[in-house]
Chain A
Amino acid sequence: MPDKILETTLEVLKEDAEGILADWIEQADEDGAKRIDLFSEKEERDQAASLLRSFRLGVRDASKDGEFDLQDEHWADLRGILSEITHERVERGVLPGEMAALILALKTPLFERLTEKLESDPERLIEEVLLLSKAIDAFAIYSNEVFIAEREQVIERQRDEMMELSTPVVELWDKVLTLPLIGTLDSLRAQEVMESLLQAIVERQAEVVIVDITGVKTVDTQVAQHLLRTAAAVRLMGARCIISGISPKIAQTMVELGVDVGEVRTRSSLRSALMDALTSVGVAIRPINDDKRNAK
């Protein structure tokens, strides 16, 4: 039993790095893992070369103990490069399957060379191929995990962006503001809503605020609580709060829940809330007569 399980692999990697690299890229091309539309030949080659280099370094150190574990210290370099390259490829739109195929394509050139070298020692050959195969599979899985992590980051970012988007305070008329709520109102958002609303009341000297919940699907006690608190704060600022967009089903559900809206004014639609608000600031919407319309 040699003290280095991947000894021959290491030998091969040292002797013919250039050849392996060329064969690898060719194999990847055959497997459809090459994306010349997204990466130039040179970039593709550079990436493969740096992967191969750190792979060799990893094999050199890792093979000492015979066990394979990607989380080991000596694979840190390869892990780093793998995440870097995966990241770059995600950015440019490479599919996760293609990235995995690229890594798996490394098996062919390595196995071919091992077979040649260990022709006389089939037992060793099987041993090395087995371990090497395990290692390369692990890299492919690792790059897939990086892929998923990247995706999740994107989703997280979009969520944050949506949060920001979803609390716009709109001025409908002088002294009349509206805040159309969409989705759900968890504690964090309720806080944001409250802050931006109170700020806007001061800035625009608002007298009436319409909080429209047409886009809120579920009003449970927590959401109701946040709404009522917002209304109370608006009142403390000297403005009036109308909650609009309460659908029949939400109204029935709120009654069953036992939510008491107290003195907060509610309206079934934004339209009736707007009429109400305009009246209280002394403005009315009236149809213009035909003469004026034709004059335009």
Chain B
Amino acid sequence: MVFDEADRIATIELEQDRDVVRARSRVADAMKECGSSELMQTRFVTAVSEVVRNALTHAGGGTLAIYAMPNKRQVGIECRDCGKGIEDIDAAMADGFTTRRGSMGRGLGGAKRLSKTFAIDSSPGKGTTVRMIGACSLR
């Protein structure tokens, strides 16, 4: 999944908790502009919230880029961090996987289920990049 053809509409540096809120409201705005239904908006914003929060808690921060896809009916995001990376991506995607006590371990899997397309790219020491596309309607 590449965003070469897409319009980058915002870039948000993720440094602290409140940047998650900013990320969410920017993505919600982008979805609204595509004429998204509230349900689709809630779904994708929640997915974004998960990956952005991951970047913040596991990598100490990162960068979120938000794209309007060429067909204008979809919104894409790329969340990039420079953390220690994920050793076993399949394991990390599975529900119940967590490296933290008291965490649900459903973030990544949930994000995948809540987005239309989901791609994760990570290797130990290289950081993690998550790209997702959210559709504005079910059709």
Task: Say yes or no: A222 contacts B53, CB within 8 Å.
Answer: yes
Task: Say yes or no: B110 contacts A188, CB within 8 Å.
Answer: no
**8 tightest A-B CB contacts, nearest first:** A257-B110, A220-B49, A249-B42, A258-B106, A249-B39, A221-B104, A186-B17, A256-B113
Q: Given contacts A220-B50, A250-B42, A258-B95, are A225 and B102 in contact (CB under 8 A)?
A: yes
Q: Which residues of A contact B103 (CB under 8 A)?
A: 221-222, 225
Q: Give A217 to B18 CA distance when docked, in angstroms.
A: 15
B residues apposed to A, CB below 8 Å = 17-18, 20-21, 24, 28, 38-39, 42-43, 45-46, 49-50, 53, 95, 102-104, 106-107, 109-110, 113-114
Q: Give A248 to B95 CA distance when docked, in angstroms.
A: 23
A 208-238 binary contact with B (CB < 8 Å = 1; else 0): 0000000001111110110001000000000
Q: Which residues of B contact A252 (CB under 8 A)?
A: 39, 42-43
Within 8 A of B (CB), among A153-199: 159, 183-184, 186-188
Q: Given contacts A249-B38, A253-B46, A259-B104, are A218 and B95 in contact (CB under 8 A)?
A: no
Q: Give A218 to B43 CA distance when docked, in angstroms.
A: 9
A residues apposed to B, CB below 8 Å = 159, 183-184, 186-188, 217-222, 224-225, 229, 248-250, 252-253, 256-259
Q: Which residues of A contact B18 (CB under 8 A)?
A: 159, 186
Most B C-beta atoms less than 10 A away, residue of A188, A222, A259: A222
Q: Which residues of B contact A259 (CB under 8 A)?
A: 104, 106
Task: Say yes or no: A220 contacts B46, CB within 8 Å.
Answer: yes
> Chain A contact residues: over half helix, strand or loop, or mixed?
helix
| 14 cross-chain CB contacts under 8 A | A183-B21, A187-B17, A217-B28, A218-B42, A218-B45, A220-B50, A220-B53, A220-B107, A221-B103, A224-B104, A252-B39, A252-B42, A258-B95, A258-B110
From residue B132, how far is it (CB to closest CB) to chain A in Å? 14
**Smallest CB-CB separation from B43: which chain A residue?**
A253
Q: Give A259 to B46 CA distance when docked, in angstroms.
A: 13
Q: Give A259 to B107 CA distance when docked, in angstroms.
A: 10
Q: Which residues of A contact B109 (CB under 8 A)?
A: 258
**Smallest CB-CB separation from B113: which chain A residue?**
A256
Task: Say yes or no: A253 contacts B104, CB within 8 Å.
Answer: no
**Smallest CB-CB separation from B110: which chain A residue?**
A257
Q: Given contacts A186-B17, A257-B113, A258-B95, are A221 and B107 in contact (CB under 8 A)?
A: yes
**Smallest CB-CB separation from A224: which chain B residue?**
B104
Q: Given contacts A218-B49, A221-B50, A221-B110, are A256 and B104 in contact (CB under 8 A)?
A: no
From residue A16, how far is it (CB to closest CB) to chain B in Å? 50
Q: Which residues of B contact A257 (CB under 8 A)?
A: 46, 50, 106, 110, 113-114
Q: Which residues of A contact B106 (CB under 8 A)?
A: 221, 257-259
Q: Which residues of A contact B107 (CB under 8 A)?
A: 220-221
Q: Give A187 to B17 CA distance when docked, in angstroms.
A: 9
Q: Which residues of B contact A248 (CB under 8 A)?
A: 39
Q: Which residues of A contact B39 (CB under 8 A)?
A: 248-249, 252
Task: Say yes or no: B42 contacts A253, CB within 8 Å.
Answer: yes
Q: Give A159 to B22 CA distance when docked, in angstroms.
A: 14
Q: Which residues of B contact A225 (CB under 8 A)?
A: 102-104
Q: Give A139 to B52 CA distance when docked, in angstroms.
A: 40
**Smallest CB-CB separation from A222: which chain B residue?**
B53
From residue B102, how far is it (CB to closest CB) to chain A in Å? 7
Q: Give A228 to B134 CA distance when docked, in angstroms.
A: 28
From residue B4, how far is it (CB to closest CB) to chain A in Å? 29
From residue A151, how far is it (CB to closest CB) to chain B in Å? 17
Q: Which residues of A contact B46 (CB under 8 A)?
A: 218-220, 253, 257
Q: Which residues of A contact B42 (CB under 8 A)?
A: 217-218, 249-250, 252-253
Q: Give A222 to B107 CA distance when docked, in angstroms.
A: 9
From residue A253, how far is it (CB to closest CB) to chain B in Å? 5
Most B C-beta atoms less than 10 A away, residue of A224, A225, A258: A258
Q: Which residues of B contact A224 (CB under 8 A)?
A: 104
